[in-house]
Amino acid sequence: MLAVTAFGSLALPVAAQSPDQPRLRLATTTSTEQTGLLDAILPVFEKETGYRVEVVAVGTGASLKLAQNGDADVVLVHARALEDAFMAAGWGIERKDVMYNDFVLLGPASDPADVAHSSGILDAFSRIYAAGSPFVSRGDNSGTDVKEKDLWKAAKLAPKSLAWYREIGQGMAQDITMADQIGGYTISDRGTWFAMMNKVSLKILSQGDKGLLNPYGIIVVNPAKWPSTNLEGAKALADWITGAEGQSLIAGYKVNGGQCFFLFK
């Protein structure tokens, strides 16, 4: 029931104040969308602030490129070297740590390269290379793709031109699906794996290396590069997602019983 004021008029519920520029463009990696995290947290931000977040989930490299082209106000990504280069070139004015998970190596239960008995991730990659077993790569300059390429380089191996190495230029869910279909190997962030684990027959065959850490950061795009950038909205999202409420929602988010992302301490 609506209350009546002393002046005899109805006291209507106070709506969240609408910002001057409510449209906010977020470019982000596919894992934040395919895990369902954004669907779980962004409606809370929108309700509290009045912003309307438009999400484009395309991978880290493509997300940063969107920002450079003036097509994003804020980016949420996970390839620190690319992020640092973006900041050094003046495209961003602020970067904040948001969360992290890790990468895992997936493969068929038959494990033709005997990856399960490897001593670590570089040995696992060496075994796949020696066996010539199918390997599916994102091939899209995403954070996962950058990590995978770094691992091959660290193992002193170059599979790119070999027949068993397949670059598909698609997102993580599509990558996992193809690896499953051809009985191949791939790497995935753990969050997307939780979202896909009941849809495929692949197994985690290597995990836990210190070098598989997967940190995510949020970057506010520099309005000096693109004056139309929604600076106020970008800062609001960056502050909220790294603040108490955003961090609590991230920490509590699970898929198929697994925690997708963890907080920095």
Q: What is the pLDDT of residues 178-233, one digit of tens each?
A: 999 999 999 999 999 999 999 999 999 999 998 899 999 999 999 999 999 999 99
Q: Which residues of the chain have pLDDT under 70?
A: 1-17
Instruction: Say what the pTM is.
Output: 0.87
Domains of the chain with bracketed CATH: 20-101+214-259 (3.40.190.10), 102-212 (3.40.190.10)
pLDDT reported for residue 101: 96
pLDDT reported for residue 16: 58
- Rounded CA-CA distance 220/236 in Å is 10
pLDDT reported for residue 265: 84
Q: Are 66 and 229 in contact (CB under 8 A)?
A: no
- Rounded CA-CA distance 152/164 in Å is 14
